[in-house]
Structure 1
Amino acid sequence: MQTNALTELLAEKGVLLADGATGTNLFAMGLEAGEAPEMWNEAAPEKIEKLHQDFVDAGADIILTNSFGGTRHRLKLHKAEGRVHELNKRAAEIARSVADKAGRKVIVAGSVGPTGELLIPLGAMSYEDAVSSFAEQMEGLKAGGADIAWIETMSSADEIRAAAEAATNVGMPYTYTGSFDTAGKTMMGLDPKDIHGVARDVGAGPVAVGANCGVGASDILSSLLDMTAANPDAIVIVKGNCGIPEFRGSEIYYSGTPPLMAEYARLALDAGARIIGGCCGTSCEHLSAMRAAIDGYTPRPRPTVEEIVDKIGPLRNKTASESGGDGSRERRRRRG
């Protein structure tokens, strides 16, 4: 395993707490639907800084830069495809400034989400174009001081590989997570148990792999069981949504309470995760409860899916082992 800030902190602490939601918290701070969060790195940097600071104050060991949609493919939707480097650099600089004054070691993870494009033969984007697009983004993140490329919410194994290759080309260590939201697999049919091998041979290999977003907290813990069973020695990330997303009128509401997310963190530890955080709907209050749960953790037996459902709530999807077909559809999504 290569030495980098993330592996060093893992060696020191054993388990790390990643931050909570970016999108849902920024919407609560005034971001409008359809507005690119990345533009706030320049238009409202004080709000991005406050979000990072609040997560650090809640106990996060890892904060993700506000750059999820920072590729030229995403930014062109906002006529900002020519500003990839500066917006990503600024995202990393804001997070770096918060991490550097934390008084303890905090990792700045450069958030890299999917391009929103389909790769050939399903779509028009070539593999080479994907690598180039991710590398352009990561050059900005690296220049701003990100410790690691945090490739997340991916559906396509090819797109993960392209992003991993880009990180290697740029000289950054990397992690990657899939979003297992289609009958227990990603939309492009990737099974949780197969996550480890997707980019194992790219550069020095991933520092950690795992799952984020998806559907409810129970579902991602089920995916976690599959991932840790497939490779018990791997460093596995789980960054689940806050309970279950439910529509109330036109608004999405997340059912998770701080005590529920604390139990989710304990179950994630029981199931073998080493990096635990929250995705859509996860506030600083939820994260504080997760921090306390991790700090006060007493090991328990590895849970079954039934025990997870009993403690966290029902699965929204089939598990990967129950679903036969592959989910060969793609959707444009943004990490909550």
Structure 2
Amino acid sequence: MTTETNALAALLAEKPFLLADGATGTSLFAMGLEAGEAPELWNETRPENITKLHQDFVDAGADIILTNTFGGTRHRLKLHKAQDRVFDLNRRAAEIARAVADAAPRTVIVAGSVGPTGELLVPLGAMTYEDAVAAFAEQIEGLKAGGADVAWIETMSSPDEIRAAAEAAVTIGLPFVYTGSFDTAGKTMMGLHPKDIHGVAADIGPGPLAVGANCGVGASDILSSLLDMTSADPSATIVVKGNCGIPEYRGAEIHYSGTPPLMAEYARLARDAGARIIGGCCGTSCDHLAAMRRALDAHEPRERPTLETIVEAIGPLRNKSANEGASAPTRERGRRARG
């Protein structure tokens, strides 16, 4: 991990843990975003909603807010005929988040959200590594211009795509964080084991400020991944940003089973298991995040949890753990937007 001076590294040096924000996508759907609509377009058409989202998370106690740019590469935006607006949409998103962060009574980090392109790299698909680097660089250039402190590479499955995004961040001159989504038998869809997350882009530039996991299938599962990551490198700065319980379909809508008390206990367990940056992903509202803030601020460290402790407190795993070695059918990821 790099010790290069920057806002996120400085805040990590100052505080024992940081609280990252909650869900972007599900929060925007609650504000009226339509299925199939690009959240990134709201940076220009409904900036007041994006401002409110960031402000609500800051008010709930977030130390890190993620820009509304998860699908901000040309590959995602071309689905909405906006591939020629990559720089402007990402810059505007970062400017909105920067304004909220700068008005906060404490230091708040603006993390430029960089999600997967949705394309497969050669030889599985048509996108070359060089094309991926160029696409990510185009996005990150906009994020930097808007005032992002760090490139937050998230919900990744492919080690090569993580590396491409990290290389782009270094080229543009932003430090980077990266997280995988361990949603297929405890590994990413491309087979990356949580314990191997540390080495994916450690050799790129000064290396990552933090690595970890986000999204996935549930709070217990991401805590299982966390145990693997912290066992593999206890000195690493680890991020966990888990979903708010389990997604459940009620009619045509997805609801998440996690309550504020459950997410508070998830946060405590994450801290006991060694996470330094703790937040929520899909379904995590401001109420959930506020409960996590209160729980972490009042938390007295306990013994490192076991998987059995986690299951007893949070509920059963939805997938096999990565260490069971069994393969599971690949789950289709139909969500357009993180969170």
TM-score bucket of the superposed structures, by smaller chain = over 0.9
Aligned residue number for residue 267 of structure 2: 265
* Letter in structure 1 aligned against 2:338: R
**Secondary structure in structure 2 of the residue aligned to 1:33:** coil
Aligned residue number for residue 216 of structure 1: 218
Aligned residue number for residue 115 of structure 1: 117
Q: Output the CA distance in 2 between the equivalents of 1:135 and 1:330.
A: 27
Q: Output the CA distance in 1 between the equivalents of 2:256 and 2:127.
A: 34
Aligned 8 A contact 1:109 1:147 in 2: yes
Aligned 8 A contact 2:217 2:318 in 1: yes
Q: Output the CA distance in 2 between the equivalents of 1:279 and 1:236.
A: 15
Aligned 8 A contact 2:23 2:283 in 1: yes
1:289 to 288, 291, 311: 291
Aligned 8 A contact 1:183 1:319 in 2: yes
Q: What's the CA shift for 1:4?
A: 1.0
Moved more, 319-328 or 253-262: 319-328
1:305 to 304, 307, 319: 307
Aligned 8 A contact 1:20 1:277 in 2: yes
* Letter in structure 2 aligned against 1:182: T
Aligned residue number for residue 183 of structure 2: 181
CA offsets, 1:235-290, max 9 Å, x none?
00000000111111211110000000000000000100000000000000000000
Aligned 8 A contact 1:262 1:290 in 2: yes
Count residues with an aligned counterpart: 336
Q: Output the CA distance in 2 between the equivalents of 1:178 and 1:88.
A: 22
Q: What's the CA shift for 1:300?
A: 0.2
Aligned residue number for residue 199 of structure 1: 201
Aligned residue number for residue 324 of structure 2: 322
**Secondary structure in structure 1 of the residue aligned to 2:324:** coil
* Letter in structure 2 aligned against 1:273: A
**Secondary structure in structure 1 of the residue aligned to 2:90:** helix
Aligned residue number for residue 37 of structure 2: 35
* Letter in structure 1 aligned against 2:230: T
Q: What's the CA shift for 1:13?
A: 1.2
**Secondary structure in structure 2 of the residue aligned to 1:321:** helix
CA offsets, 1:92-150, max 9 Å, x none?
00000000000110000000000000000000000000000000000000000000000
Q: What's the CA shift for 1:324?
A: 3.7
**Secondary structure in structure 1 of the residue aligned to 2:197:** helix
Aligned residue number for residue 280 of structure 1: 282
Aligned 8 A contact 2:184 2:331 in 1: no
2:60 to 50, 58, 61: 58
Aligned residue number for residue 167 of structure 2: 165
**Secondary structure in structure 1 of the residue aligned to 2:279:** strand
CA offsets, 1:54-76, max 9 Å, x none?
00000000000000000000000
**If the length of structure 1 is used for normalisation, what is the TM-score?**
0.98
Q: Output the CA distance in 1 between the equivalents of 2:338 and 2:329.
A: 19
CA offsets, 1:192-221, max 9 Å, x none?
000000000000000000000000100000
Aligned 8 A contact 2:137 2:169 in 1: yes
Cα distance change, pair 291–329 in 1 and its aligned pair in 2 (3 A): closer
**If the length of structure 2 is used for normalisation, what is the TM-score?**
0.97
Q: Output the CA distance in 2 between the equivalents of 1:266 and 1:59.
A: 15
* Letter in structure 2 aligned against 1:200: A
Q: Output the CA distance in 2 between the equivalents of 1:208 and 1:150.
A: 10
Aligned 8 A contact 1:193 1:227 in 2: yes
Aligned residue number for residue 142 of structure 2: 140
The share of aligned pairs that are identical, in percent, is 79
* Letter in structure 2 aligned against 1:39: L
Aligned residue number for residue 77 of structure 1: 79
**Secondary structure in structure 2 of the residue aligned to 1:298:** coil
Aligned residue number for residue 226 of structure 1: 228
Aligned 8 A contact 1:185 1:327 in 2: no
Segments of structure 2 that go 5 or more residues without pairing to the other structure are none
Cα distance change, pair 202–102 in 1 and its aligned pair in 2 (3 A): same
Q: Output the CA distance in 1 between the equivalents of 2:120 and 2:184.
A: 17
**Secondary structure in structure 2 of the residue aligned to 1:152:** strand
1:103 to 102, 105, 127: 105
Matched, 1:335 2:334: no
Q: Output the CA distance in 1 between the equivalents of 2:333 and 2:297.
A: 37
Aligned 8 A contact 2:16 2:276 in 1: yes
Q: Output the CA distance in 1 between the equivalents of 2:219 and 2:287.
A: 17
Cα distance change, pair 129–326 in 1 and its aligned pair in 2 (3 A): farther
Aligned 8 A contact 2:320 2:326 in 1: no
* Letter in structure 1 aligned against 2:111: A
Q: Output the CA distance in 2 between the equivalents of 1:229 and 1:159.
A: 25
